[in-house]
Amino acid sequence: KEALKDICSQMLGGRQCTTSNLSKVLATDLANRIEMITEELEYLSSNAFRLTGPDEVLKVLQLSQKLATEHDFPSTEDGARDYFRTYEQLLHNYSPPVTVDRVNRWKQQAFSLKTEQIAGAVLQKYSDLDRKILPVQTLVDEAVAEFDKQIDLEVDRRIEYERTHN
């Protein structure tokens, strides 16, 4: 992020930025963000979901997001049971639009920016890849934040319990 800010400052200040430097900075920015997605998926698969792996976590997150935008969560216990039964059936057959393999291909595409010679092409490829990465990055970041929030709440609950019962 700092290198990206430096390049923007240079350009806004009227100083030249070489295409080589621009492509390296943008490629590194994308690669770092993709690496963070990969690490967060590993973290969630090891701690929060305890599923078969990062691909399954990514699948669950995407299906959950899809269902949240298409359906309201039921307000009754019976409705919730039906919802989760349907969710489990959908999950089994769901083909997510983004997989870990696709994320890894994005990383390869990000590194290929370093060899680009034309500034306009660098910016276009960066923008195209950024539009693909950002929704997944946001989805995974939000899941990690929610998981960490739940951990903090549980720690606070246990501290309060210990305080009042000892």
Q: How confident is the model at residue 51 (pLDDT cuts 50, 70, 90)?
A: low
Residue with the larger pLDDT of the pair 86 and 65: 65
Q: Which residues of 88-112 are buried (b: 16+ CB within 10 A; e: fewer)?
A: eeeeeeeebebebeebeebbebbee
Mean pLDDT along residues 3-24: 77
Q: By the 8 A CB rule, do 123 and 29 touch?
A: no
Please provide the DSSP assignment of 34-59 as one string. Answer: HHHHHHHHHHIIIIIS--S-HHHHHH
**121-138 residue pLDDT tens:** 999 999 999 999 999 999
What helix, strand, coil percent values describe the chain, rounded to 5?
A: 85, 0, 15
Locate the domains of the chain by residue range: 2-55+101-165
Instruction: Please determine, for residue 94, whether its predicted confidence score (pLDDT) is greater than 90.
Output: yes
Instruction: Please determine, for residue 1, whether its predicted confidence score (pLDDT) is greater than 70.
Output: no
Question: pTM for this structure?
Answer: 0.82
